[in-house]
């Protein structure tokens, strides 16, 4: 503390002996010591850099002291400390100060106590750590008068605040009821988006002030994500409630639909409706009935009704699967067996063909439609089975594509080796997401197709699925269409297509990636389960003993993928340990390059992103390390004994499995085909022909 410090000057303006001032010996010694370091560096720097602020602060205090002496002490009354501080800040700002320092706020009370210790008391009367300034000259009579005046003011302020609440509520109610929202019947998808939410500006202003405590609504785009979301949700609730349910915001239509789809619980929808968060279930049925009537009105009898978001002239993929609802019946008969389908299209940017205008459906309380003559699925006569035509061998394996995927997997393992204690690099899926953070992911359009009310195990049902797929292809004006099945349906569909080649030549049948992976997982389990794989994953605690059979047979997809990823990383880590010894023996001159590359991976470890990943892949040292490691892996496959060759085949099979996963998730068709070409020989070798 310096000798010119204003805090000391405020104290020494009075008689210290009369005030019975006390101080520590060490403080007195430091204060009187004429040493450069005795002055506080922060305060000295503050004085040197801001002499204008110090002068302005001193003048403001002088003005405040004058105000207290002439106004407060001459006419004694109780005031809040906040009022004096507000007055002091106004004096400061009048001197040109724009920003008040923290030290000024901290020492404000100390300044007043130092100046008016004998004439003012500073007490916390309300117990909330907010001080009041009480002149000692205040008489009991004046104190009583001030208390009565404050009581009268609080009563009148309570009445006025209640009236203000009434006025605000009535104004918001009138604003909500006066806005005109033209909603079509039944509601269209474009009217249920986030952009279609209509909330009065006055209501937004009210909610913004209520949630944040600030005034001056800057707009939803300028608010934080949380505040913007809450304003939108609360605003829709108030619009729905104040209008008595006549105005139905998007939330109050979509939320009951979501609850119905996720839980199929009608009572939960009733609870949400009574709480004001959604429409009633009866209104939900009315909307469904109107949508059904509208779709039937625009669809001819020979066409398959398609959702509005599925557009013509865009490549489409159809996926069919059985959805069985096994109701509890006395005999076990009469349960529901259906085949459901979806249509998937990539999101196209640009002008779209003009959609067919939907017919007008009169709004009514109708909640059901007349029974439509649902003709049974035509009987299909299987007859003599036909096999596929003989075809030549087609080379689809692309070495460059497979090598690029191998580089990414190897780099993932190398980066994870840099963890000294706690691993900060995520596993395979998370790592590949981080190194593709600059790629924009666009959501596809998915539409649900009409249900086929027949069991999927019948060949007649599969024939009907193929026939409807052709009808959808013709409706969308496509030359070919891709149809995806699970393993059971795919086997039956291929038999039908082989027998009716000309009829279904425009259908490209594919088995889903999920079932392809499950088939390949069973092949891996059959090959390695008795070679020690079962014991390793049980003893390591990766998989419980009771679940290991499902893993090795390909029936537990998530656990099996996790297990093989861990085993794949462990074997590659062991290979990298041997790689360092192999470099010392056979390529000692390359040792500095390898060591330097491993050190350079620290940047990718610290910041796992696409930019760092591309920089690492493009480095010349990475290509050299890849070449050397590839040579070492070739040595393990062909020159290190049969046991090494056997377990290297496991590494290669899991590499193919990860390639199929990567190709499916990244949309890499060439990698997908290359992985399938690697899987097919293994399936034939282990008798998985389907």
Q: What is the pLDDT of residues 655-677, one digit of tens each?
A: 999 999 999 988 888 889 889 88
User: Are 291 and 423 within one domain?
Assistant: no
User: Are 184 and 121 within one domain?
Assistant: no
User: Are 22 and 132 within one domain?
Assistant: yes
pLDDT, tens only, 259-269:
998 888 899 99
The overall average pLDDT reported for the chain is 83
User: Are 204 and 286 within one domain?
Assistant: yes
pLDDT at 648 over 90: yes
pLDDT of residue 44: 44
User: Are 97 and 195 within one domain?
Assistant: no
Tell me the Ramachandran region of residue 630: left when phi exceeds 0, alpha when psi lies from -120 to 50, beta otherwise.
alpha
Within-domain flag for 161:
no
CA dihedral 102, 104, 107, 111 (to 10 degrees): 180
- Give dist(CA 87, CA 108) in Å, integer: 12
Token digits of residue 630: 């590839």
Count of C-beta atoms within a 10 Å radius of residue 231? 23
Query: Structure pTM?
Result: 0.65
Average pLDDT of the segment spanning 365-389:
77
Within-domain flag for 455:
no
Q: Taking a C-beta distance cutoff of 8 angstroms, is the pair 665, 441 a contact?
A: no
pLDDT of residue 594: 87
Q: Which residue has the tokens 């390898």?
A: 594
pLDDT of residue 652: 93
Dihedral angle sign, alpha carbons of residues 386, 389, 393, 396 = negative
pLDDT at 300 over 80: no
State the DSSP code for 452.
Answer: B
Q: Taking a C-beta distance cutoff of 8 angstroms, is the pair 657, 676 a contact?
A: no
Token digits of residue 310: 């599925």
User: Are 234 and 111 within one domain?
Assistant: no
pLDDT at 117 over 90: no
pLDDT at 41 over 50: no
Kind of pairing between the strands at 481-485 and 316-325: parallel
Kindly report whether the peptide bond that precedes residue 483 is cis, defined as omega within 30 degrees of 0. Answer: no
Within-domain flag for 394:
no
Q: Which residue has the tokens 């689809």?
A: 396
State the DSSP code for 541.
Answer: T
Q: φ and ψ at 525, to 5 degrees?
A: -65, -40
Sort 278 into a burial class: Cβ within 10 Å, 0-12 / 13-18 / 19+: buried
Token digits of residue 178: 């006066």
- Give dist(CA 64, CA 86) in Å, integer: 10
User: Are 124 and 242 within one domain?
Assistant: no
Q: Of the residues 264, 279, 295, which one is the last residue of a structural domain?
A: 295
User: Are 659 and 564 within one domain?
Assistant: yes
Q: φ and ψ at 63, to 5 degrees?
A: -65, -40
pLDDT band at 353 (very low <50, low <70, confident <90, very high): low
Percent above pLDDT 90 for the chain: 24
pLDDT of residue 80: 82
| Strand, helix or coil for residue 336 | strand
- Give dist(CA 302, CA 91) in Å, integer: 85
User: Are 97 and 196 within one domain?
Assistant: no
| Strand, helix or coil for residue 343 | strand
pLDDT band at 37 (very low <50, low <70, confident <90, very high): very low
Q: Enumerate the β-bridge partners of residue 280.
A: none
pLDDT of residue 46: 46
User: Are 647 and 528 within one domain?
Assistant: yes
- Give dist(CA 89, CA 87) in Å, integer: 6
pLDDT band at 43 (very low <50, low <70, confident <90, very high): very low
Contacts 24+ apart (CB under 8 A), 15-19: 19/117
Quickly list DSSP for 457-482. TSHHHHHHHHHHHHHHHHHTT-S-EE
- Give dist(CA 118, CA 30) in Å, integer: 29
Q: Of the residues 108, 138, 168, which one is the last residue of a structural domain?
A: 138
pLDDT at 397 over 70: no
310 Cβ neighbours under 8 A, 6+ residues apart: 316, 343, 345, 445, 447, 476
pLDDT, tens only, 225-255:
888 999 999 999 999 999 888 889 999 999 9
Print the SS3 string covering 196-258. HCCCCHHHHHHHHHHHHCCCCCCCHHHCCHHHHHHHHHHHHHHHHHHCCCCCCCHHHHHHHHH
Show the domain range for 631: 399-438+514-685
Distance set, CA 142 to CA 75, 77, 133 (Å) = 10, 8, 15
Within-domain flag for 149:
no
Q: Of the residues 241, 272, 295, which one is the last residue of a structural domain?
A: 295
User: Are 405 and 290 within one domain?
Assistant: no
The domain total for the chain is 3
pLDDT of residue 352: 65
Token digits of residue 307: 């959702």
How many residues comprise the chain? Answer: 690
- Give dist(CA 173, CA 206) in Å, integer: 12
Within-domain flag for 55:
yes
Within-domain flag for 301:
no
| Strand, helix or coil for residue 588 | helix
User: Are 669 and 558 within one domain?
Assistant: yes
Please tell me the least confidently modeled range out of 79-88, 278-287, 492-501.
79-88
Within-domain flag for 381:
no
Token digits of residue 457: 């195990």
Within-domain flag for 42:
yes
């Amino acid at each position: 503390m310096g000798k010119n410090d204003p805090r000391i000057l405020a104290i020494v303006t009075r008689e210290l002996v009369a005030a019975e001032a006390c101080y520590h010996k060490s403080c007195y010694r430091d204060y009187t010591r004429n040493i450069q370091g005795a002055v506080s560096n922060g305060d000295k720097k503050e004085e040197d850099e801001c002499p204008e602020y110090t002068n302005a602060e001193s003048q403001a205090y002088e003005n405040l002291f004058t105000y207290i002496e002439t106004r407060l002490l001459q006419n004694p009354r109780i005031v809040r400390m906040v009022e004096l501080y507000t007055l002091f800040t106004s004096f400061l700002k009048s001197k040109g100060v724009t920003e008040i320092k923290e030290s000024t706020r901290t020492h404000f009370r100390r300044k007043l106590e130092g100046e008016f210790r004998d004439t003012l008391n500073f007490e916390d009367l309300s117990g909330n750590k907010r001080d009041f300034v009480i002149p000692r000259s205040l008489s009991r009579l004046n104190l009583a008068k001030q208390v009565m005046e404050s009581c009268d003011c609080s009563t009148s302020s309570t009445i006025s605040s209640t009236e203000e609440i009434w006025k605000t509520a009535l104004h918001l109610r009138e604003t909500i009821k006066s806005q005109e929202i033209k909603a079509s019947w039944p509601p269209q998808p474009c009217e249920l988006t986030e952009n279609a939410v209509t909330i009065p500006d006055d209501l937004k202003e009210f909610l913004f002030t209520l949630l944040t405590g600030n005034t001056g609504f800057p707009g939803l785009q300028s608010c934080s994500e949380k505040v913007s979301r809450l304003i939108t949700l609360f605003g829709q609730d108030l619009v729905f409630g104040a209008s008595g349910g006549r105005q139905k915001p998007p939330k109050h239509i979509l939320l009951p639909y979501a609850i119905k789809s996720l839980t199929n619980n009608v009572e939960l929808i009733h609870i949400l409706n009574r709480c004001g968060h959604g429409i009633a279930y009866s209104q939900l049925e009315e909307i469904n009935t109107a949508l059904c009537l509208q779709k039937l009105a625009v669809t001819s009898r020979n066409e398959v009704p398609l959702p509005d978001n599925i557009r013509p002239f865009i490549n489409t993929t159809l996926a069919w699967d059985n959805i069985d609802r096994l109701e509890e019946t006395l005999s076990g008969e009469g349960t529901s067996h259906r085949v459901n389908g979806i249509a998937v299209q990539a999101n196209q940017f640009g002008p779209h063909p003009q959609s067919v205008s939907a017919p007008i459906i009169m709004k009514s309380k109708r909640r059901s439609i007349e029974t439509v003559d649902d003709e049974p699925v035509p009987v299909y006569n299987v007859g003599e089975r036909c096999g596929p035509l003989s075809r030549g061998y087609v080379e689809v394996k692309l070495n460059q594509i497979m090598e690029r995927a191998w580089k990414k997997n190897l780099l993932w393992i190398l980066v994870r080796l840099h963890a000294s204690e706690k691993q900060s690099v995520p596993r395979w899926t998370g790592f590949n997401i981080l190194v593709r953070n600059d790629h924009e992911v666009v959501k596809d359009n998915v539409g649900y197709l009409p249900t086929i009310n027949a069991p999927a195990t019948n060949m007649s049902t599969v024939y009907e699925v193929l026939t409807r797929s052709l009808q959808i292809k013709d409706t969308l004006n496509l030359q070919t269409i891709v149809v995806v099945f699970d393993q059971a349906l795919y086997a039956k569909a291929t038999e039908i297509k082989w027998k009716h080649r000309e009829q279904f030549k425009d259908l490209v049948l594919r088995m889903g990636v999920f079932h392809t992976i499950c088939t390949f997982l069973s092949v891996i389990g059959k090959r390695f389960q008795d070679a020690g794989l079962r014991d390793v994953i049980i003893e390591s605690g990766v998989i419980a003993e009771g679940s290991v059979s499902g893993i090795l047979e390909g029936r537990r997809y998530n656990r099996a993928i996790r297990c093989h990823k861990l085993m794949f990383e462990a074997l590659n880590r062991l290979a990298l340990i041997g790689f360092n010894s192999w470099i010392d023996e056979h390529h000692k001159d390359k040792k500095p390059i390898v060591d330097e590359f491993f050190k350079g991976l620290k940047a990718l470890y610290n910041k796992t992103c696409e930019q760092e990943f591309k920089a690492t892949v493009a480095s010349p040292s990475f290509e050299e390390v890849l070449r050397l490691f590839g040579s070492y892996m070739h040595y393990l496959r062909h020159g290190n004994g049969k046991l090494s060759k056997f377990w290297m085949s496991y590494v290669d099979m899991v590499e193919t499995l990860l390639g199929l996963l990567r190709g499916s998730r990244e949309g890499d068709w060439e990698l997908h085909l290359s992985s399938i070409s690697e899987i097919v020989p293994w399936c034939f070798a282990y008798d998985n022909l389907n």
